[in-house]
Chain A
Amino acid sequence: SAVISQKPSRDICQRGTSLTIQCQVDSQVTMMFWYRQQPGQSLTLIATANQGSEATYESGFVIDKFPISRPNLTFSTLTVSNMSPEDSSIYLCSGLAPSGEQYFGPGTRLTVT
């Protein structure tokens, strides 16, 4: 199985600030994704992180709020910008293996005060 790591594992941030989450995957992963899990809810896809180009965002998510970079095959970042309490969620990155199986990182628990 693919190994995926994220940092930070959790953070408490002030309203109006930004947080950048890092995700590192092992080399077998072909595609990378970012998801959000709001309290008590299931996972929602934010965007596909494309290597060397702009991410592909799902409906309801915009680049100005959630800028994503993927400078190489195994690394991506998600920034949550100008945060409000409604952004308090768990943010997870995932990697797609050649088998078609997706593997997830441990998540970043964000609390905005």
Chain B
Amino acid sequence: KQEVTQIPAALSVPEGENLVLNCSFTDSAIYNLQWFRQDPGKGLTSLLLIQSSQREQTSGRLNASLDKSSGRSTLYIAASQPGDSATYLCAVSARGGADGLTFGKGTHLIIQP
């Protein structure tokens, strides 16, 4: 059974810092990996999707990498802003996504103004 772990569970940094969120998964036979953010009381916003054949994806100040063989992904946030404060979730899928997503418990991020 796939298990997804996210480290750290919580992180508080001053505005402007670059930071890295970590995600690991136990079964490397994934189809893709997705990073989401969740604001309090809200649904999930998709940030980045990395297919299993890809190494990284970038969107604005966000960069996600994937090392499928070692079962790891990182989300890099450059020049953090208070608006980046949220919970960041990592999730993996198998079988073309037909099995749904397995989620980690998330990293609760606070950016101090």
Contacts and interface: CB of A to CB of B under 8 A. Distances in A.
Interface string B88-109: 0101010011111111111000
B105 A41 contact: yes
Contacts of B41: 109
A99 interface: yes
Contact of B101 (A1, A45, A99, A109): A45
Contacts of B42: 106-107
A74 B97 CA distance: 18
Contacts of A102: 34, 46, 91, 93, 97, 101
Nearest to B48: A101
Pick from B34, B42, B44, B89 the residue with the most CB of A within 10 Å: B44
Interface in B65-102: 89, 91, 93, 96-102
Contacts, number: 61
B60 interface: no
Pick from A48, A94, A101, A106 the residue with the most CB of B within 10 Å: A101
Contacts of B44: 43, 92, 104
Interface residues of B, number: 26
Given A100-B32, A100-B97, A102-B97, A43 B46 contact: no
Contacts of B103: 42-44
B101 A42 contact: no
A33 interface: yes
Contact of B43 (A44, A48, A92): A92
B93 A100 contact: yes
Interface of B: 31-32, 34, 36, 41-46, 49, 51, 89, 91, 93, 96-106
28 contacts: A1-B46, A31-B97, A35-B100, A41-B105, A42-B103, A42-B104, A42-B105, A44-B103, A45-B102, A48-B99, A48-B100, A58-B100, A94-B100, A94-B101, A96-B97, A100-B31, A100-B32, A100-B49, A100-B51, A100-B93, A100-B97, A101-B34, A102-B46, A103-B46, A104-B36, A104-B44, A104-B45, A105-B43
